[in-house]
C-alpha cells in the first residue's frame, strides 16, 4: 500500500489507473481498479516508493494465493472516475481524496470528490521518479547499516 509520511494528507492526491477489470460474478456490474499514486509531477522528497493503493492477496479457483492491486468500484463509481479523469496522457489520471479500504487492505478513491488535473499522466517520468526514490531509499538504508556495523566493530 502507498506509504505516506507522518502528517501527509490523503486528500487531493494525484492518482492514475494502472489497471481495470470487469467484475465477474452474478449481478456484478462494476470494475476492479488498480490505482497508483502518480509520481510524475512530485518533487523528489515527496515521491511514494510503493505507489499502488492496494497490496493484497486472493485465492484463485485452484486455491493458489496470488497478489492483487485492485479494489472494487460500482458501475456508478466507475462512471464518476471516467468522467473526472484526464485521459490525454499515458493513463487516466485524477485528483482524489483517499481513505482506508473497509473491505480489504490499502486505500480507495473517494469517487464523490474527484477533480480533473490539468497535467496529463507521464508514465516515463513516473517510472523515473519512482526508481530514483527507491534507489535513494536503498542507499540510505545501506549507509545506516554501514554506520551500525562500524559502531559494532569499534
Q: What is the pLDDT of residues 114-153, one digit of tens each?
A: 999 999 999 999 999 999 999 998 998 888 888 888 888 7
* Mean model confidence pLDDT for the chain: 91
The Cα–Cα gap between 109 and 124 comes to 23
pLDDT of the residue at 27? 87
1 pLDDT exceeds 70? no
Antiparallel, parallel or unpaired: β 71-73 and 31-37: antiparallel
The Cα–Cα gap between 28 and 30 comes to 6
pLDDT of the residue at 84? 97
Return the top range by mean pLDDT from 8-12, 43-47, 145-149.
43-47
Domain ranges of the chain: 13-153
Q: What is the pLDDT of residues 80-110, one digit of tens each?
A: 999 999 999 999 999 999 998 888 788 999 9
Picking from 112, 115, 124, 107, the residue whose alpha carbon sits closest to that of residue 34 is 107
Q: Which 3 state secondary structure label does DSSP give 20?
A: strand
pLDDT of the residue at 111? 97
Q: Which 3 state secondary structure label does DSSP give 35?
A: strand
Amino acid at each position: 500500500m502507498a506509504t505516506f509520511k507522518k502528517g501527509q494528507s490523503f486528500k487531493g492526491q494525484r492518482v492514475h489507473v494502472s489497471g481495470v477489470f470487469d467484475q465477474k460474478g452474478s449481478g456484478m456490474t462494476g470494475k476492479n481498479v488498480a490505482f497508483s499514486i502518480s509520481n510524475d509531477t512530485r518533487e523528489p522528497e515527496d515521491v511514494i516508493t510503493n505507489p499502488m493503493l492496494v497490496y493484497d492477496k486472493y485465492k484463485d479457483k485452484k486455491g493458489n494465493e496470488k497478489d492483487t492491486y485492485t479494489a472494487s468500484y460500482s458501475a456508478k463509481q466507475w462512471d464518476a472516475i471516467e468522467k473526472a479523469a484526464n485521459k490525454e496522457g499515458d493513463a487516466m489520471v485524477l485528483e482524489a481524496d483517499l481513505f482506508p479500504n473497509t473491505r480489504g487492505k490499502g486505500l480507495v478513491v473517494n469517487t464523490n470528490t474527484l477533480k480533473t488535473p490539468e497535467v496529463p499522466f507521464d508514465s516515463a517520468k513516473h517510472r523515473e521518479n519512482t526508481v530514483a526514490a527507491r534507489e535513494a531509499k536503498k542507499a540510505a538504508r545501506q549507509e545506516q547499516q554501514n554506520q551500525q556495523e562500524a559502531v559494532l566493530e569499534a
